[in-house]
């Protein structure tokens, strides 16, 4: 899938700590719904993105790495350029949409999995993870229930992450203490879904070795000169 309008600027730098060349990729992505994403990649791994709601740079790798990710782009007016490029990219998106007579935006419906973060023990605090994947455009709503009633306390929602096919994935978590007979649900709403998508989970007291059918997360690889963030999935057997 292709974004409606994407401007990509790539340039190489030579690390001050080594004679090995590294590639920094600057990506500005605009969507027809008005959303703009700007991020930097170091050797094809994301190191920061721009949070326009907070007007700040968000580093996605630890600052204690050597070299410090914040020092890689030192001397560059990253935030100011991001604001300028956001306006430019948005204008180009409007122009492109007008030239194509504003065709309908492509959409991909999400799929979701609901599973506990740890082996379940009754009365022991745990986290339920609602993993939503393969959706486009990058806008979803996630809601939780316990025994049919809405739950908001202990709920968190990650930012969305891009997949290689142009779709996105996102995590919502619920901190809870399982009790026998409780039933939890995670409901996902997205513009590509005709009706909300609901996943249901309840503790199985007959088997305390419960685990997720699939666990997905973000890992960090450390190298001599920097870091890499990677997405991984591990299969489990249990329920």
Let me know: does 164 contact 211? Beta carbons within 8 Å: no
The tokens describing 129, both together, are: 């993870």
The tokens describing 151, both together, are: 């739950």
Cross-strand pairs, 170: 132
pLDDT classification of 73: cutoffs 50, 70, 90: low
The residue out of 99, 121, 139 marking a domain boundary is 99
42 found inside a domain: yes
- State how far the Cα of 129 lies from the Cα of 170, in Å rounded to an integer: 10
151 found inside a domain: yes
38 found inside a domain: yes
**What was the pLDDT predicted at 47?**
78
Answer whether 0.75 is exceeded by the pTM.
no
50 found inside a domain: yes
**Mean per-residue pLDDT of the chain:** 75
Higher pLDDT, 115 or 75: 115
Q: Let me know whether 95 and 116 are in one domain.
A: no
The residue out of 77, 99, 121 marking a domain boundary is 99
Cα 80 to the center of its chain, rounded Å: 24
Domain coverage including residue 45: 5-99
Q: Let me know whether 74 and 160 are in one domain.
A: no
Higher pLDDT, 41 or 189: 189
Of the candidates 189, 116, 201, 187, the residue with the CA atom closest to the CA atom of residue 150: 187
**What was the pLDDT predicted at 62?**
65
Count structural domains, the chain.
Answer: 2
What are 153-190's pLDDT values in tens digits? 999 999 889 999 989 999 999 999 999 999 999 999 99
**What was the pLDDT predicted at 5?**
44
The whole-number average pLDDT for the span 22-49 is: 77
- State how far the Cα of 140 lies from the Cα of 122, in Å rounded to an integer: 31
pLDDT classification of 74: cutoffs 50, 70, 90: low
What are 77-109's pLDDT values in tens digits? 777 888 888 888 777 777 777 766 666 678 999
Rg (CA), the chain: 21
CATH number of the domain to which 64 belongs: 3.10.320
- State how far the Cα of 187 lies from the Cα of 189, in Å rounded to an integer: 7
């Amino acid at each position: 899938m292709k974004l409606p309008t994407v401007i990509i600027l790539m340039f190489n730098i030579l690390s001050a700590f080594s004679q090995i060349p590294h590639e920094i990729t600057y990506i500005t992505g605009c969507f027809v719904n008005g959303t703009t994403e700007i991020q930097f990649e170091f050797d094809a791994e994301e190191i920061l993105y721009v949070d326009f709601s907070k007007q700040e740079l968000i580093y996605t790798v630890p600052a204690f790495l050597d070299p410090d990710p914040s020092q890689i782009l030192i001397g560059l007016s990253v935030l100011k350029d991001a604001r300028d490029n956001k306006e430019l990219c948005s204008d180009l998106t409007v122009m492109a949409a007008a030239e194509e007579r504003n065709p309908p935006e492509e959409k991909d419906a999400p799929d979701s999995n609901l599973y506990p973060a740890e082996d379940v023990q009754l009365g022991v605090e745990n986290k339920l993870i609602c993993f939503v994947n393969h959706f486009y455009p990058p806008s979803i709503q996630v809601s939780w229930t316990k025994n049919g009633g809405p739950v908001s306390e202990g709920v968190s929602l990650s930012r969305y992450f891009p997949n290689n096919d142009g779709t996105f994935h996102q995590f919502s978590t619920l901190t809870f203490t399982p009790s026998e007979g409780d039933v939890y649900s995670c409901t996902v709403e997205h513009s590509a879904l005709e009706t909300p998508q609901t996943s249901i989970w309840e503790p199985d007291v007959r088997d305390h070795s419960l685990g997720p059918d699939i666990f997905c997360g973000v890992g960090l690889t450390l190298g001599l000169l920097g870091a890499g963030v990677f997405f991984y999935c591990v299969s489990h057997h249990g329920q």
